[in-house]
Structure 1
Amino acid sequence: MTGLGTLLFLVGIGVLIFGLLRFRKRNWPKKKTQIVIISSILAIIIGIGIIPTAEEEASNEKPKQEEKTKEVTVTPILKTENTFTTNDDGMIVIEGETNPGAEVRVVFSNIPDVVGTADDDGAFSFSVDSLDKAQDVVLSIMIDGKTEEQTLSLKLSPGYESKLAAKAEEERLAAEKAEEARIEQEKIAAEEKRAADAKVAAEKKAEEARIAQEKKATEKRVAAEKKAAETKRANEQRAASAPSTSNEQGEMVYITATGKRYHYDQNCRGLNNSNGETTVTIAQAKAQGLTLCGFE
């Protein structure tokens, strides 16, 4: 109808213009011109009536769009089992059907999610070989922004459970052995440390004893040197105060009847126990084999 209304409108306009031009040139009679003009105006009016408005066009297009939208709307579907069981090697296969090209995701509790896409027939399949315990997982599909979910129960086969138990026991024994080795190593390290500390202490004690001994020897040597110096100084003083050699033989000294020393001083300590002193010359005392008293 839209095309017919437009056609009538355009034809009416064209005929009207043609009639007016012919009438202006006086080629047509007046009555004929009037008929042409009236016919043109009617064609224009009819064409305008047939041409739909914008609101009418929108109302006409809306059902078409709704029909088109209705045709492409997809309802998500998900068909699969509720329970899956591993084989004796621990592998589990999750499979089912959904919309072709839908995104399929399995959400686990202790391992990363598994994501895939359904094939052209809507089939999907996942193989998981790292399952170490029974658990519930969420299987979801997404198509055109719509999702569908289903909770699956994953079980372990008896054979696989036995393998897991044996593996756990091996790991426990290995851990115990490693712990025993660690404790033994710590004991050895502690013994070595004690021995090293004892050695250091013994070396320190020996060094202290050596230093003390050296100090004592040094003190003894210094004392001996001091005494020798004092003795030398006393002898030098005595020699300086003694009479010259020419008078030495005639100098008088004191001796005892049984003593082996001669004395310059009658009050010398070497004469304290004598029963009497005799005065002789040094020459006479030396002739008797006597020597100078050590206290002088």
Structure 2
Amino acid sequence: MTGLGTLLFLVGIGVLIFGLVSFRRKNWPRKKTQIIIISSILAIIIGVGIIPTTDEEASTEEPTKQEEKTEKVDNTPILKAETTFTTDDEGTLVVEGKTNPGAEVTLDFVAIPDAVTTADENGAFSLSVNQLDKAQDAVLSIVIDGQTKEQTLKLALTPAYETKLTAKAEAERVAAEKAEAERVERERVAAEEKRAADAKIAAEKKAEEARVAAEKKAAEEKRVAAERSKAAAAQPDTSNEQGQMVYITATGKRYHYDQNCRGLNNSNGETAVTVAQAKAQGLTLCKFEQ
């Protein structure tokens, strides 16, 4: 469009000059001259209108330059940070550095969750970790367009924060020991109460068994006494009979109530004893007196 505008502008100038010269000639048709002049003026105006200005040319060329600049951007991973970082007195750690714009930045720990952020448009990044519990190493890494770069950092604690951690650990140790002692005491008391309860149950059981046994023994003794009493009541009273005098011989097997009993006819002498004494010697009543 720039060449066409220039051509129209130059042709218009040339035709205008020709028209003006012809207009001064007396033998040149006036009407045709006017048409030529008007046409040349229009050509000049159109040519001027389509010729771009300097700013327009600059704006037209700028995207191309920007594209060329973009194409030349180097996405090689960049990671710049200090090698050692120290917490503040409250245990907060801030890691700062520079990398590729928009790169994903990760601070990788062993025992605590990783810290992750994204670099800003200038490549600056900042990672914050709260209450770091001990000095340790961590790996700082970035990923840009699938490429990775790493750097090992040493993370340190301030003396004031180390003192706080020591005091906290001691308090936790004391609390843990107290809790353990209380647990042991609770278990001891519970075991003692259980032993006492078991002993009480055993004593009550033993007492109950003794009571039942005593009741059974008393009942058995009562039963035996009743049977003896019943048997005694059924037997005749022989107390007088046992004391009655009878006669026995030295060689005889019988005792006799009557001294003149036929069983004594051949005896050489009789001895008077009680019935009980005769029975004690195994003697029985003479058959002639039965």
Shorter-chain TM-score category?
0.5 to 0.7
The 5 A counterparts of 1:75-154 are 75-154=76-155
Question: Could you say if the C-alpha distance between residues 234 and 98 of structure 1 is closer, same or farther in structure 2, counting changes exceeding 3 Å?
Answer: same
User: How far did 1:190 drift?
Assistant: 2.2
Q: Deviations over 1:68-96 (max 9, x none)?
A: 99735411111111111011111000111
CA shift, 1:130, in A, is 3.2
> Identity over the aligned pairs, expressed in percent?
61
TM-score normalised to structure 1 length: 0.56
Match of 2:173 in 1: 172
Q: Measured at CA, do residues 233 and 126 of structure 1 come closer, stay the same or move farther in structure 2, by a change above 3 Å?
A: same
Change (3 A) 1:224 1:78: same
> What is the 5 A alignment of 1:1-296?
71=72, 73-234=74-235, 263=240, 268-271=241-244
Where does the alignment leave 5 or more consecutive residues of structure 2 unmatched? 1-67, 246-290
Aligned length: 180
Offset at 1:269? 2.2
Assess, with a 3 A threshold, how the Cα gap between structure 1 residues 262 and 169 changes in structure 2: closer, same or farther: closer
Q: Distance in 2 between matches of 1:91 and 1:117?
A: 20
What whole-Å deviation, never above 9, does each CA across 1:272-296 have from its counterpart, x for those lacking one?
Answer: 7xxxxxxxxxxxxxxxxxxxxxxxx
Kindly provide the CA deviation profile for residues 95-141 of structure 1, in whole angstroms up to 9, marking residues without a partner as x.
Answer: 11111000111100110111111111111111111310000000001
Residues 75 and 221 (structure 1 numbering): CA distance in 2 closer, same or farther, change over 3 Å? same
Q: Which ranges of structure 1 fall in alignment gaps of 5 or more residues?
A: 1-66, 239-260, 273-296
Deviation readout 1:136-194 (Å, 9 max, x if unpaired): 00000111111111100000110100000000110111111112212222221222122
CA–CA separation in structure 1 for the residues paired with 2:222 and 2:211? 16
1:27 counterpart residue number: none
**Structure 1 residues 211 and 125, CA gap change in structure 2 (3 angstroms):** same
Distance 1:226 1:108 in 2: 97
Q: Secondary structure at the match of 2:214?
A: helix
